[in-house]
Amino acid sequence: MNKSRSRTIGLLSVLIGVGLWELCSQLFFNPLFLPPPSAVWARFLELVADGTLAEDISVSAQSYGLGLVVAIVVGVLTGVAMASSRFIRDVLDPWVSALNATPTIALAPLFILILGLGVESKVAICAIVMLFPILVNTYYGFSMTDQQLVEAAQAYAATPWQSYVKIKLPMALPSVIAGLRLAAAHGLVGVVVSELFGARAGIGLLIQTSAETFDTRALFVGICLLGIVGVGITYILIAVERRIGRWRVAQEESA
């Protein structure tokens, strides 16, 4: 009841906002700087029709996807290793803390210098900005495991592997997913920035070149697309988080 009411209000807010935008750019603003949504939509259809948008999306999605895979593999493995071994944690902790506090997007020019303008540098930039949220949250999740439950498993003669998979992993999973959600948003920044420095195709390139040619309608196509993808990914991961971490929320509510 309350939930559907909130949803209706949210939807109305978006519709009214888009309506106001349309009205303002028709009446008050120079459509060159703020094109109305109708014009953006028309440009979107043009870009779909000539195939450039599909190309841009697929190139960006490739960098993003590969970067995400690298970040997940490296982040989860390192996080788990740091949580399981005091020595590994002591060795890596200063580096992880320092890099996590640094806006890693600042490393983008360096990666392009080293790896060139190809897909490698873009994957690397996406990976580095997505790595730390995943790593830190994985480490946190696995080091916060309830020792009493681990001991209970031990009392039931669980092997170390069984107690990892059936006790520690489910306990850490909500935290890992929360890290993934943060990373997903960081990754969109990463992919756009990596393409601003020069690329064959991509959403970042679309935004860059349309600004240079005063094609603000195409620029808005790029921005809106990023916004929609960002919201979509966040929604999916929140749904996964809710499903996996239902017990956690319920436990907090009943406490």
- Using an 8 Å Cβ cutoff, are 78 and 220 in contact? no
Shortest CB 174 distance to another protein, Å: 9
Residue among 14 and 155 whose Cβ is closer to another protein: 155
Q: What is the binding site for another protein (CB under 8 A)?
A: 148-149, 151-159, 162, 166-167, 170-171, 246-248, 250-251, 254
Residue among 98 and 157 whose Cβ is closer to another protein: 157
Residue among 25 and 163 whose Cβ is closer to another protein: 163
Shortest CB 178 distance to another protein, Å: 16
Q: Tokens standing for 152? A: 């209970």
Residue among 34 and 149 whose Cβ is closer to another protein: 149
Q: How far is CA 100 from CA 92, 129, 133, in A?
A: 12, 9, 8
Residue 59: CA atoms inside 13 Å, Cβ hemisphere, count?
22
Shortest CB 211 distance to another protein, Å: 49
Shortest CB 79 distance to another protein, Å: 20
Residue among 45 and 249 whose Cβ is closer to another protein: 249
Shortest CB 87 distance to another protein, Å: 22
Residue among 100 and 251 whose Cβ is closer to another protein: 251
Residue among 7 and 246 whose Cβ is closer to another protein: 246
Q: What is the full DSSP assignment across the chain?
A: -HHHHHHHHHHHHHHHHHHHHHHHHHHTS-TTTS--HHHHHHHHHHHHHTSHHHHHHHHHHHHHHHHHHHHHHHHHHHHHHHHH-HHHHHHHHHHHHHHHHS-GGGGHHHHHHHH-SSHHHHHHHHHHHHHHHHHHHHHHHHHT--HHHHHHHHHTT--HHHHIIIIIHHHHHHHHHHHHHHHHHHHHHHHHHHHHT--SS-HHHHHHHHHHTT-HHHHHHHHHHHHHHHHHHHHHHHHHHHHHTHHHHHHHHH-
